[in-house]
Amino acid sequence: MATITSPGLGSGLDVNALVSQLIAAESQVPTARLDRREAGFQARLSGFGTLKSSLSALQSSLSGLRTVSSFQGKTASSSDSKVLTATASSSAALGNHSFDVTQLAVSHKTSTDPLLANAQFTSTTDVVGTGTLTFRFGTTVYDTGTDTVTTFTQGTNNATKTVNITDGSLIGIVNAVNDANIGVNASIIFDGTNQRLVFASTSTGADNSFEVTVDDDDLNDTDTSGLSLLSFNTTSSNLLQTDAALDANVTIDGISGIKSASNTLTDIISGLTITLLDTTTSPDKVTLTVGQDTDAISSNVSNFVSNYNALITTINDLDSFNPDTREAGLLNGEGVLRSVQARIRRIIGTPVAGLADAKATLSSIGITTSSSDGTLVLDNTKLQSALDTNINDVTSLFAGLGNTTDPLIEFSDSSDQTLTGTFAVNITSLATQATAVGSVAANLTITGGSNDTLSVSVDGTAATVTLAAGTYTAATLAAEVQSQINTTQVFIDAGSSVSVTQSGGVLTLKSNKYGSTSEVNIAGGNGRIGLLGLTPVVTAGSNVTGTIDGSSATGEGQFLTGSNAAAGLKIKVTGSTTGDRGSITFSRGYAEQLDDFLSEVLAADGVFTSITDGLNRQVSGITEERAVLSRRLVTLEARVRSRFTALDILIAQFQTTSDFLTQQLSNLPFSNLGRNNRR
């Protein structure tokens, strides 16, 4: 008998449907159990992700409160912003300054002279001439009566620049000069009759004017035709000076004669960058007020309160349980959640160690805790009053801060190892600056190429400077040496500078840096001996030395860093007194404490990482269980299907036998006899 290969053909049963239903029923319970477990793990992962995000947001809001510098922002407001504006760094001193701006810095400008017949251009494509333009930069004395350059002195640090002119049209010259990027901008201005070529220095200031000499392809630079029309020097002044190069001239707080090559003053008042926009109208003066940037602090405090409240709300939601609906938060009953909540509330609720009781809690600046849900309530009026009264108290509440009893000892920094408390400060020796003192009075006459160069080393950086030729007084020579060193780019890039003074004609160079890395020396140059003599006295700088809390501290320049209980506590020591210098009281404010805790919790190897890693492993385990279940069901289906197939074959055999017997019985003789008798 042939084997039945299509399930159900033998029995008439829908075997495929029966097998599918049986397997589905068999898988329903374990699949549902795995689904519930996976949903639970995923819910916890989601809950911990939400909690971690809220904690991260809170930590981000602490960045504007945890450091002392966050509370040292300053504002600078001008009584007339049309005359000047300013910005202030944290180092700017609070107070008012009066300004009388009598002159703005102006850049040097020249133009072609339309009175010259060959300079009466009507089109930007009119041809001037070809050749080479040579620009030198320095100071110019110009006679406006005769429109001639009477004197030009090139700056010692200003390089000579040349521009090749191959397209001799007005526009061709403009393009060539501008493309050369030499510190001069060229343009064309139509005055109503003539197209006039204009040269303008890109830098303002009396020392940033320029002269122009011409190497004309066809003519010499004294001619009033061809490219020579652009000459501007003591030999030939075919260009007109339209704007003289001028320094800004300002009287500040009654101190007159303050000059600047730029209209942006960066080194006149410490910590202020002042932009001059116009001159004042006598006798009116402009008042510049430097104040504390309390608005930024208020904004940072408000941001902290908002993010703290968002975290508390998130924690309350994650840990919630509704007895009526029996719905629970995603992390209801989680120990980690409650531990984090308890630690944060304990930090906020504990007075800051080292501060007076009345100033040691957030309530002192208008921040209280709501009894209903644990969120914070901010009284902006009380906060502003605290900021206006004593900003240092507000700083102490949030940042890691050291308050000193000696005003010439300044808290600088701390570390995670610094303990709170009061530490005595004792100074053994003060930091010093390196000096180089001449052994004879300086030669006051400087001759170019003879005694004008100095090989200078400052704080480990070396360069050669060139002094301007001339006859000086001792004071003006000291100023020239200081200026040439401090304006040399390699020293500027290294952040190194010197001050140069004189006494009885003897020069003293002093590094502006303190400590063992402070160094200044003139090691060579043709002007060295004439300036300092054969045996100048060179002294290296030294670091401050002393103790903090009775333990040896490490000095670096003017900074002293403690050890043991004061580990990482860094102070700046100024003044001229050694011995007992009072004490410093260090406290860790709420922002620093919270940031330390959150850094620990949110660290790559912190509690969240271990929890989420564990949950992800359990989710992966469920995936494996699903695979095992799937393999088991495949095996079960094959077994059930084989049994149904066997049953189907058996029924088919029975059916075949039945049909055969029926057929045989119908063919027996007594079967027909019986039928006849019934008739």
> Which pLDDT score, from 0 to 100, does residue 8 have?
52
Q: Residue 32: in which H helix or E strand, if any?
A: helix 15-61
Average pLDDT over residues 146-172: 91
Which backbone phi and psi does 55 adopt, to 5 degrees? -65, -40
- Domain end among 292, 325, 353: 292
Q: Which of 539, 565, 591 is the last residue of a domain?
A: 539
Question: How much is the pLDDT for 2?
Answer: 42
pLDDT tens track for 320-333: 888 888 888 888 88
Residue 255: inside a domain = yes
CA of 158: how far to CAs of 16, 234, 461, in Å? 96, 18, 21
Structure tokens of 262?
């730029």
The neighbour count for residue 280, using CB atoms within 10 Å, is 19
- With respect to residue 208, please indicate whether it lies within any of the assigned structural domains: yes
Give the Cα separation of 403 and 396 in Å (integer): 9
CA distance 46 to 41: 9
CATH number of residue 462's parent domain: 3.30.70
Helix (H) or strand (E) run with residue 74 in it? strand 74-78
Q: What is the pTM of this model?
A: 0.70
Contact 331, 51 (CB under 8 A): yes
Write the pLDDT tens digit of every residue in 59-88. 999 999 988 888 989 999 999 999 999 999
545 within some domain: no
Looking at the domain assignment, is residue 532 inside a domain? yes
Using CA of residue 661, residue 663, residue 664, residue 670, what is the dihedral sign?
positive
CA 376 – CA 366 distance, rounded (Å)? 10
Exposure string of 120-140, with b = 16+ CB inside 10 Å and e = fewer, is ebeeeebebbbbebbbbbbbb
pLDDT tens sequence across 443-495: 999 998 999 999 999 999 999 999 988 899 999 999 999 989 988 889 989 99
Q: Give me the half-sphere count of Cα atoms (radius 13 Å) on the Cβ side of residue 6.
A: 4
Q: Are 227 and 163 within one domain?
A: yes
Is 235 found in the same domain as 256?
no
Asked if residue 284 and residue 221 are part of one domain, the reply reads no
Domain assignment present for 567: no
pLDDT at residue 149 above 90? yes
CA dihedral 653, 654, 660, 661 (to 10 degrees): 150
Whether residue 179 is found in the same domain as residue 252: no
Q: How confident is the model at residue 185 (pLDDT cuts 50, 70, 90)?
A: very high
pLDDT of 38 higher than 50: yes
Q: Left (φ > 0), alpha (ψ -120 to 50) or beta: where does 549 sit? A: left
Average pLDDT of the residues in 207-236: 83
C-alpha–C-alpha distance, residues 311 and 164, integer Å: 68
d(CA 523, CA 529) in angstroms, rounded, equals: 10
Give domain status of residue 85, yes or no: yes
Residue 186 included in any domain? yes
- Residues 238 and 259 occupy one common structural domain: no
> What per-residue confidence (pLDDT) applies to 595?
93
Query: In this predicted model, which residue has the larger pLDDT, 343 or 637?
Result: 343
Domain containing 494 equals 433-539
269 is a domain residue: yes
With 0-12 / 13-18 / 19 or more C-beta atoms within 10 angstroms meaning exposed / middle / buried, residue 6 is exposed
Reported as a single tens digit per residue, the pLDDT across 169-184 is 999 999 999 999 999 9
Please indicate, yes or no, whether residues 263 and 211 belong to a single structural domain of this protein.
no
Least confident of 45-49, 146-150, 445-449, 593-597: 45-49
Instruction: Please tell me the predicted confidence (pLDDT) of residue 140.
Output: 96
Residues 287 and 201 in one domain: no
What pLDDT is recorded for position 11? 58
Mean pLDDT of the chain: 89
**Residue 151 sits in the same domain as residue 252:** no
pLDDT in the model for residue 671: 54
| pLDDT for 675 | 52
pLDDT grade for 31, boundaries at 50, 70 and 90: confident
Buried-exposed string 594-603: b where 16+ CB fall within 10 A, e elsewhere: bbbbbeebee
Position with higher pLDDT, 618 vs 577: 577
pLDDT at 13: 65
> What pLDDT, on the 0 to 100 scale, is given for residue 81?
95
Task: Calculate what percentage of the chain has a pLDDT beyond 70.
Answer: 94
Alpha-carbon span 5 to 27, nearest angstrom: 27
191, 273: one domain: no
Does 222 score more than 60 pLDDT?
no
Q: Is the confidence at residue 670, as pLDDT, over 70?
A: no
Final residue belonging to a domain, choices 518, 539, 560: 539
Domain count, the chain: 3
Residue 450 and residue 511 in one domain: yes
